[in-house]
Amino acid sequence: MKKEIFKIHAFERSIALKLLDSLQGRATITSNMWTSSNQKRGYMAVTTHYIDGNWNLQSRILR
């Protein structure tokens, strides 16, 4: 199971890097952190935002 998780991570990472490399402009990166009230666990999401070739705002969670 652990190997499969690392394979998925490597695959998703390669897709994200290709996407960011293909951008003609700039991208911003934001983070959002929160805690679960019933489990007392912390979470964080890292997101990139950019304008595509059609001038539409795009957002992708970086995994």
Residues 6+ apart with CB under 8 A from 17: none
What is the reported pLDDT for 49?
Answer: 96
Number of other residues whose CB lies within 10 A of the CB of residue 48: 17
Res 41: pLDDT:
87
* Helix/strand/coil for 21: helix
Predicted pLDDT of residue 58: 93
**CA–CA distance, 59 with 29 (Å, rounded to integer):** 9
- Residue in the block written with tokens 């539409």: 56
**pTM above 0.75?**
no
Please name the helix (run of DSSP H) or strand (run of DSSP E) that holds residue 8, with its range, or none: helix 2-22
Tokens at 26, concatenated: 């700039």
* Domain definitions of the chain by residue range: 2-62
Mean pLDDT of each 10-residue bin along the chain, 63 residues long = 90 88 91 88 93 92 82
